Chains A and B, each alone.
Chain A
C-alpha cells in the first residue's frame, strides 16, 4: 500500500470518528443499541474467550514446567509465570486478536451489508447521524465489555494453568497457589486494562471503518470483513509493542 493510500484511509478514518463523536439524536436509542452491542460482543464471546483462556494457561504451565525441569528455579515459579504472562500479555493480546476475528469481522459485515442494502442512505435521509449511530454504541460497548472479558480470560487462564499442572502431578496445589500469590505487582493489572481498552478501541473502530465505506458487492464485503480482521490484528500487535515500551 502506497503512502498516499495510507494517508487517504487515515484521513477518512479520522473524519469518520470526528463525525461519530456527536450529540446523539435520541439518547435512549443509543443506549438501547449500546446494550444490544454489549450483549453481542460480551455474552456472545464468553465461550470462545473462556475456552482459549483455559488453554493459554494450561499450555503456559506445561511449557514452563518443561523449560524449568532440571534447573534451580523453584517449581512454584510456574504459578507466578502463568499469572504474570497471562495478565500482562496473553490474556489481553490473544483475547483481542481472537475478538478481532469474531467481533471485528461481524461488525464490518453488519455495517457493510447495511451500506450495500442502502440502509445507511435511508438513515441519512431520515436525518440520522449514521457514523455516530452505527459506530459509537459499538465502541462504547466494546470499551465496557472487552476489559471485563480480558479480566475473565486472565482469571480462567490461571485456573487453566492449575488444571494442567496440579492434577497431572507437575507440582502440588500449595506450590501453584504460592506461585500465583508471589511477587504480585498491581501495575500489571493496570497494564492489562490499558491494553484491553486500547485494543477494544482499535478492533471496533477499524472494523466499523471497513464496513462503513464498503463499495461494490459481496466480494468487496468479504474483503472488507477480512481487512477488518487483518488491520485490527496488525494494529493491536503494534499497539501492544508501544504500550509495552511506554508502561514497562
Chain B
C-alpha cells in the first residue's frame, strides 16, 4: 500500500498540489483522474520519486519514501514498474533488449533464464514473436504492451501507469486495461493509474481519486461513480450530453 500524507507541491509561485492525503491499495487498480492541469502527472511523479514534495510525506507501507537515502531509494525502485505515456522504450534496442535491460542490470540470471523471462513477459502481454523488432517497427498499442512487459519483468510490487490509453483506439484501450487489471489481481500488486479515459474509470476503477485544482475532490469506486452527486465529478465524468444520457439510462435500469 502507498499512502500520501498532506502532500504539497509548488513550482515557484504556482501551487500544483494542495495537501493530498490519500491511499493506494494493494491488489487494486487505483485510478487518479481529473481534468488536464489538475496535478495528476505531478502526483504520479511524486509517487515514483521523480519529483520531491514541497512538504508532506509519501509512505510505501511503513517506509518513508521521501526521506530515503539514494541506496534505499534505488532498492525500493527495483520493486517499482512504470508504464510511461509515450512508453519510453529505448529506441535503439530491440523489444527483447528493452525488456531484458532491467534483468541485465540487476540480476545474475543466465542468458537462457533471461530469455525465458522475456518470453514469459511477452506472452503475458500477448506479444509472442516480436523479440527482434525495434519499437519503431511496432504499433502504439504494441509499444504500450512492451512497456508493460518491461515494467513487470522484475516482478514489481508497485506498478504505475501514466495515461496507458492515450493515443489508443477504444478496443486496444480495453485490452490494455484488462491486462493491467489481470496483472494487478494475479500478483496482488499496488497499481496506480493516471488516466482520463472514462472506460478505464468504469471498468477497472477499484479505487478512484478525483483531483481538482490540486486537491482531492472525490474518492470512491467504479460503482459509486454513477450514483455520486458530487458536482465536480459529474462535470468531469459526464461532460458530454451523450454520456449524461448513458448515465440516466443506467440509473433507470
Contacts and interface: CB of A to CB of B under 8 A. Distances in A.
Interface of A: 19, 25-26, 28-29, 117-119, 121-122, 124-129
A25 B160 CA distance: 23
A126 B80 CA distance: 7
B78 interface: yes
30 contacts: A25-B74, A25-B105, A26-B104, A26-B106, A28-B104, A29-B104, A117-B86, A117-B88, A118-B88, A119-B88, A121-B50, A121-B88, A122-B82, A122-B84, A122-B88, A122-B90, A124-B49, A124-B50, A124-B77, A125-B48, A125-B81, A126-B77, A126-B80, A126-B101, A127-B74, A127-B75, A127-B77, A127-B105, A129-B70, A129-B74
B105 A125 contact: no
Contacts of B49: 124-125
Contacts of A127: 74-75, 77-78, 80, 105-106
Given A126-B77, A126-B154, A127-B77, 19 more contacts: A25-B74, A25-B106, A28-B104, A117-B86, A117-B88, A118-B84, A118-B86, A119-B90, A124-B50, A125-B77, A125-B80, A125-B81, A126-B102, A126-B106, A127-B74, A127-B75, A127-B80, A127-B105, A128-B105
Interface in B14-56: 48-50
A119 B44 CA distance: 17
Interface size class of B (residues with CB under 8 A): 20 to 34
B116 interface: no
Contacts of A125: 48-50, 77, 80-82, 160
Contact of A126 (B86, B105, B160): B105
B149 to A, nearest CB: 13
Interface string B90-102: 1100000000011
Contacts of B82: 122, 125
Nearest to A121: B50
A121 B84 contact: yes
B26 to A, nearest CB: 19
B158 to A, nearest CB: 10
A26 B105 contact: yes
B74 A117 contact: no
B105 A29 contact: yes
A129 B73 CA distance: 11
A17 B70 CA distance: 15
Contacts of A119: 88, 90
A122 B82 CA distance: 7
Contacts of B86: 117-118
The 10 closest A-B pairs by CB, nearest first: A127-B77, A118-B88, A122-B88, A127-B78, A127-B74, A125-B82, A126-B102, A118-B84, A26-B105, A125-B48
A119 B135 CA distance: 13
B189 to A, nearest CB: 15
Nearest to A128: B105
Contacts of B74: 25, 127-129
A125 B50 CA distance: 8
Nearest to A19: B70
A126 B151 CA distance: 8
Contacts of A126: 77-78, 80, 101-102, 105-106, 154
Contacts of B104: 26, 28-29
> Which of A26, A118, A125 has the most B CB atoms < 10 Å from its CB?
A125
Contacts of B105: 25-26, 29, 126-128
A128 B50 CA distance: 13
Interface in B63-90: 70, 74-75, 77-78, 80-82, 84, 86, 88, 90
Contacts of A28: 104
Contacts of B90: 119, 122
B86 to A, nearest CB: 6
Contacts of B101: 126
